Structures are given as structure tokens and as C-alpha cells.
Amino acid sequence: MKAIERKKQLAAEAKQELVGHLIPFWLGMRDEERGGFMGYLSYDLEPDVRAEKGCILNSRITWFFANAYTLYRQGKITEQECLAAGFCGEELRKAAKCGYSFLKNDCLDAENGGIYWSLNYDGTPHDTTKHTYNQAFCIYALASYYEAVGDGEALALAEQLFCLIEEKCRDKNGYLEAFTCDFRPESNEKLSENGVLADRTMNTLLHVFEAYTELYRVIKALPEKAALADRVKACLRWILDVFAEKIYNPARRRQEVFFDAEYRSLLDLHSYGHDIETAWLVDRGTEVLGDAAYERKMNPITADLTKKIYETAFDGHSLANECERGIVDENRIWWVQAETVVGFVNGYEKSPEHAEYMDAAAAQWEFIKRHVIDRRDGSEWYWEVTKDGSPIAGRPIVEPWKCPYHNGRMCMELIKRQREGLHA
């Protein structure tokens, strides 16, 4: 099958997964009594209605339904397709509003500003840590919600969070990580892993960039937001410089992951999923930025990240998780598999002569269909499977980090890229 035909088939199957599976599942996770979305569903599909509600989880679900509703308004998801899956298109708007109302009324701290880390099931604060990563995801959700429904209050809240990050969550060298409720710096256990405690992380920087890209995209044509757009644009350029000059390691053709305050790498770690995700998110960001100089600066880096992942981490069927100190974690994580599909499709779109990337995306999708999508009634995707595709029991189907952000976005990206005719 030709690469173009593979791309069309991927888009069609992605829409089926999005409309027929992911959307109905997450509609069912709404907490009609207390607001927002339930925080936990076990591996055995037992919900815990009293579980902690992660604010990242609720930001990501809000983003998911806002973007699904935008696709619906644009005609990329039809009413007939929705009804065939058991819901009407208007339910997408209602679900996005459910998430937005919970963020605005419960997750955002009216006294100190910013968004909490998590709430109790009843909407009272549970973990009042303010993390830069978390602020970014709320911006991501609010900007998308504004685009979906035109709610100016959501855009105003996104602007407030942008200003808060810039004023309270960074120093002269870049973005810091964790803070107390009133924004005094604290240690960064939440975004540190593998036995290190990082002052700065690639992960937080990437998702600040992602959030600012979305904010800039929805405001750059608004005359009344020209001053804000200029500030966000300057931040995007600065972040790209940091990626190119401090995060990307040209000798190893990868990103470093954990850093001290001076951007010295703390661990020999190659995060395969983050590298393939970064490749397409940075390409998207430079496209939205519309600055030819930064496209020239970043395109060789993102092309190299894609090529290195293809050569090193992809086995012809799926992507390993990471490599720490030369030891590869061969398990297949749900979000890494989803980002691999988008990353390789993006690599093909940038360089159509690399049809092998389209083949890799199609093979990865086949692995997801066969092994990662949980076909049990009332489930979604497994968190983690082995290299041969066997589910790893015990990992929950929903919890504060397990959400429709990666797999839902994969589906939406494939739909949008096909309909927009990229490299078609």
C-alpha cells in the first residue's frame, strides 16, 4: 500500500476509535453530582467515586472534549457518526463545559492564583502544590475551550495563568518546577524520576511550549490581544532557543531529561516517547510561530530526533519506553505508542521521501489495535503492555496521569492532517 493510502486509512480508523470508543468512555467518567470527572478506574474496571481528582487529569479531559467539539463544529466529526456511537454532538460541548466549570470553580486557587495539583473527590483541595507543568496544562485546556465555544472568560483565565508562570515560575535561566500554594519554591518530586531530583526538566519545558503554542494560535489574529500575543511569541522563541542549545544533545542525537539549575544533565536517560513527541510538537510550534529563522533552526533537530528514534527504539512494530544508563525498558506504555504514530506521520509529512516513517506509523497503529486498546466492555486503553503485547495487570485504566490526552490527540491529529491534505 502506498504511503498516501496508508495515511488515509489511518485517519479513517483513528476517527472510528475516537468517536466509537474514546469519546463514549470519557463521557461515562463525568461526575454528575460533584463536578468534573471521576479520578480513578482500576485495572479490574472498578470505579472509585471517592478517589482524588487530579487537576492535570481534568485539564486534559477538558482539552479533549473542547477539541472534539471543535472538530464537530468544523464538520470533521458528523452528527450521524456521533449518533451511531450513542451520543449527540452537543454532548461534546456539554462535557467540555463540565470540565471547564470544574477547573474554574474548584481547581483554580482564587486567593493565591494558579491551579492546584489535585482535589478531593468532593472538590476541596487535596494537594495544594503549584507546579509549572500543571499551570501549563490548564492554559492548554482554557485556550482550546475558548476556541471551541468562544468563552472570553476562559481566555482571560488563560492569560492570567500565562502571566503567573512568567512572573512566579521562572528565573533568569528558565522555568522552575514546584512551588507551595503561595508560590514559594519547593522540591520537585512530582516531575523527577529514576532516582534524581531535578531543578529543571525537559518535560515541563516541553509542555509550557505546547501550552503557549496553543494560546498563541488562538489569539494571534485578535487585535485586542496583540500585546499578549507579542509576549507569548517572545516566550516561544526563547523556549526554542533553550531546546536547541541546552536540552538537545547533538552528540547523542537525543534530548537530555533531568537537569540541575544550570542545565547540567543529571542522568544518562534517553526518553524515547518524549523525543518523538517533542519532534512533532516543536514542528507544530514553529509552524504556528510562523518565523522562518526558527524553522531553519529547529527543523534539523526535529528531523534528527525522529530519525534517531526510528533507528534506535522502534522494532518494526512498537516503541520501547526508555533507556537508562544503557539498559532499555522494553515495556510498551500507552502514551508512548500514541505519540509514536503522530511523530512518524509528522516525519513523513516533512520528508515524503521517507516512506518508511509512514510504514512505521501504520505498524505502530496495528500494535495498538491488537494489544494496547482494551477490548473489555467499559474500558479504554491499557496503561502498559509487554513487548509481545501482554497486558501488565494492576495498572489502572484511569488515574491522575491516565487520560485521553495522548491517545485522543493522536486520533484528532490523524483526522486533521488527512482532511487538511498535508502532503496528499
The Cα-based distances of 306 to 169, 172, 281 in angstroms read 30, 31, 12
pLDDT tens digits for range 246-284 = 999 999 999 999 999 999 999 999 999 999 999 999 999
Q: Which pLDDT value is given to residue 423?
A: 41
Angle at 36 between CA 34 and CA 42, to 5 degrees: 95
Task: Tell me the pLDDT band of 419, cut-offs 50, 70 and 90.
Answer: low
Contact by Cβ (8 Å): 165, 208: yes
Contact by Cβ (8 Å): 284, 295: no
> Which three cell numbers, joined as nine digits, stand for 225?
490581544
pLDDT tens digits for range 123-148 = 999 999 999 999 999 999 999 999 99
Of the ranges 114-128, 349-363, 407-421, which one carries the lowest mean pLDDT score?
A: 407-421
pLDDT tens digits for range 325-368 = 999 999 999 999 999 999 999 999 999 999 999 999 999 999 99
Q: Which pLDDT value is given to residue 234?
A: 98
d(C-alpha 385, C-alpha 259), whole Å: 29
Q: Check pLDDT > 60 for residue 305.
A: yes
pLDDT tens digits for range 60-76 = 999 999 999 999 999 99
Q: Check pLDDT > 60 for residue 422.
A: no
Q: Which pLDDT value is given to residue 59?
A: 98
Contact by Cβ (8 Å): 106, 123: yes
Q: Which pLDDT value is given to residue 194?
A: 86
Contact by Cβ (8 Å): 250, 273: no
> Which three cell numbers, joined as nine digits, stand for 245?
542549545
Q: Check pLDDT > 50 for residue 158.
A: yes
Query: Mean per-residue pLDDT for 378-383?
Result: 98
Chain mean pLDDT for the chain: 96
Q: Check pLDDT > 70 for residue 421.
A: no
Per DSSP, what are the bridge partners of residue 323?
A: 270, 328
Domains, the chain, ordered by start: 3-419 (1.50.10.10)
Q: Which pLDDT value is given to residue 424?
A: 40
